[in-house]
Amino acid sequence: MENLRSLGVAQYSAGDYYGAIKTFNKLARMDKEGGEFNSYAENFIDRANWELNN
């Protein structure tokens, strides 16, 4: 899961917001218990959506 987190952050940083959303959605699905990765993923999904809409 750490690799997906790193990939998502790199995509977000490079401006690949659609790729970041896809990666963080996958990460959130893997962390089904609502743990640390799930909330982290949801945060970045919100950030990426904001970037796409503003």
Task: Give domain limits for the chain.
Answer: 2-53
- Please tell me the predicted confidence (pLDDT) of residue 18: 98
Distance of alpha carbon 39 from alpha carbon 18, whole angstroms:
18
Residue 51 half-sphere exposure, CB side, CA atoms within 13 Å?
17
Report residues of the chain scoring pLDDT below 70: none
pTM of the model: 0.90
- From residue 35, alpha-carbon distances to 12, 19, 21, 27 in Å are 21, 22, 18, 11
- Please tell me the predicted confidence (pLDDT) of residue 17: 98
DSSP 43: H
